[in-house]
Amino acid sequence: MNARSLSTRLTSLLVVGLLASACGDENPFPSFDELDALQQLHSPPQKPPADATNRLADNPQAAALGNRLFHDPKLSACGTVSCSSCHDGDGRTVAKAKADGCNGGVTGRNPPTILNADYNRWFMWDGRADRLWNQAILPMTNPVEMGSNANIIRSVLTQDYLPGYAELFNKTPDETGDDELLANTGKLMQAYERTVNRLRSPFDEDVKRFIAAATVSVAEGERDPAYLALKTYVRKGQCIVCHKGVEMSDHLFHNIGVKDGSESAPGQTAAVEPMLNWKFNAAGAFSDAPTGTEASRLAALRTTLADKRSEMVGAYKTPTLRNAALTAPYMHTGEVATLADVVEFYNKGGDENGTFTGTRTETIKKLDLNAEEKAALVKLLESMTGQ
């Protein structure tokens, strides 16, 4: 928005704000702050942020090898499960709550999409990985997912991925130590995953158009087809508090009260120390930038650990909402079936106390949405599917 229209808008907001308070009406939407929050929601950059901890992150040859590795079931101990087994189809996930791994194994949580994954700052529902390449090591070695190890992976790389591997890493798989081999394989997969994005969506166009209308006048904004949905998203629903910015996530962890009696219910609190002390993290020996900005985020997290501890209990990562229509079912448990059910979940203020670990964050409370507001929110979520 240019400075002129901004100041025109500011003046009209002030004038209408005064009128509204004079007649005791609700303040017109959007306020200046709300307008600012809306401005931040649309038009994500076409490429995820750079990741200096993987020098091959944007290397096309690495992405090509990573693409093959991602789809290669030979990497698994059972020979039948690849990354794509659980991250497939339009939504790059599975259509059920939990996914099936090697030898009858079943995952403890719902697989998130890998679409736009490297726009995230933390990975996994509980944040136990801090980079996309080290995230990949977890499913490869997890007994209920791929159950693999460096020996299995080394023989596959030697058989099917030479000379590509040697060109990129300047050594053969045989010359690569076990941990480094796992890290390198993850780095190739990250290079591929960084290319798997679905961004620009009807939602972005709607937000832009609404902002333009609301900048002309309040009445013009009210006439816009996206008015009720965006107003509910921002104001009554409070969704914007956590699902903000172009990624539609604050990159933080919250306890929103999702029913979960499983072993993994403590969420972030159980994951944060293992991640900070992990040899594969951004500050570790396998990072290509162990003292860079990605690594300094770990140091920052460590210093706030004591203060944040109680908020971490039962807390999960705020997921992106982009492509949500393609990724049902929802939440870390996968127990919420549809987007309409998600809206109902928030409308009742989350699941009942006692059905989840820890204390629900204050923002989540009963919303009293009417039928139109609920329908508008569902339509808004559906419009977030990218191309």
Q: Which residue in 150, 191, 295, 324 binds ligand HEC (CB under 6 A)?
A: 324
Q: Which span (6-14, 44-52, 135-143, 279-287) binds ligand HEC, by CB under 6 A?
A: 135-143
Q: Could you say which residues in the range 161-190 bind ligand HEC, by CB under 6 A? A: 189
- Choices 124-132, 162-170, 175-183, 278-286; region in contact with ligand HEC by CB under 6 A: 124-132
| Least distance to ligand HEC, CB of residue 8, Å | 31
The CA–CA distances, whole Å, from 254 to 199, 287, 319 equal 25, 28, 11
Which tokens go with 177? Answer: 């130590």
Q: Is 83 annotated as ligand-binding?
A: yes
Q: Which of 77, 207, 258, 282 binds ligand HEC (CB under 6 A)?
A: 258
φ and ψ of 236, to 5 deg: -70, -40
Q: List, in sequence order, every beta strand (DSSP E) within the chain.
A: 253-254, 316-317
Give CA–CA dist 120/197, Å, rounded. 12
- Measured CA to CA, the distance from residue 94 to residue 110 in angstroms comes to 8
The distance of Cα 126 from the centroid of its chain, to the nearest Å, equals 11
331 binds ligand HEC (CB under 6 A): yes
Looking at beta carbons only, is 215 or 318 nearer to ligand HEC? 318
How many Å apart are CA 44 and CA 245, to the nearest integer? 9
CA angle 138, 144, 145 (to 5 degrees): 55
351 sits near ligand HEC (criterion: CB under 6 A): no
Single residue of 1, 64, 212, 241 touching ligand HEC by CB under 6 A: 241
Determine, following the binding rule CB under 6 A, whether residue 377 of this chain makes contact with ligand HEC: yes
- HSE-up of residue 340 (Cα within 13 Å, Cβ side): 4
Query: Is residue 81 a contact residue for ligand HEC (CB under 6 A)?
Result: yes
x/- map, 93-112, ligand HEC, by CB under 6 A:
------x-x-----x-x-xx
Provide the β-strand partners of residue 254.
316
For the segment 58-77, give every residue that binds ligand HEC (CB under 6 A).
70
Total interface residues for ligand HEC by CB under 6 A:
52
Considering Cα of 325, then 329, then 330, then 336, what sign does the dihedral take? positive
Q: Is 251 annotated as a binding residue?
A: no
Binding mask 183-222 for ligand HEC (x = CB under 6 A): ------x---------------------------------
Q: Is residue 243 a contact residue for ligand HEC (CB under 6 A)? A: yes
Q: Has 86 been labeled as part of a binding site?
A: yes
3-class SS of residue 234: helix
Is 125 one of the binding residues for ligand HEC (CB under 6 A)? yes
Q: Does 254 bind ligand HEC (CB under 6 A)?
A: yes
Helix axes 339-347, 371-382, angle to 10 degrees: 130
Does 346 bind ligand HEC (CB under 6 A)? Our answer is yes
Q: Is 23 annotated as a binding residue?
A: no
Q: How far is it, in rounded angstroms, from Cα 100 to Cα 86?
A: 8
Distance CA 53, CA 89 (A): 29
Residue 41 sits in the site that holds ligand HEC (CB under 6 A): no
239 is in an annotated binding site: yes
117: contact with ligand HEC by CB under 6 A? yes
**Which amino acid type is present at position 174?**
D
Buried b (16+ CB within 10 A) or exposed e, 123-150: bbbbbbbbbbbbbbbbbbbbebbbbbeb
Q: Are 40 and 244 in contact (CB under 8 A)?
A: yes
Residue among 134, 176, 327, 383 that touches ligand HEC (CB under 6 A):
327
Q: By CB under 6 A, name the binding residues for ligand HEC.
A: 70, 81, 83, 85-87, 99, 101, 107, 109, 111-112, 114, 117, 120, 123-125, 132, 135-136, 139-140, 145-146, 189, 237-239, 241-243, 254, 256, 258, 316, 318-319, 321, 324, 327, 330-332, 342-343, 346, 361, 363-364, 377, 381
Residues within the annotated binding site for heme c?
A: 83, 86-87, 239, 242-243
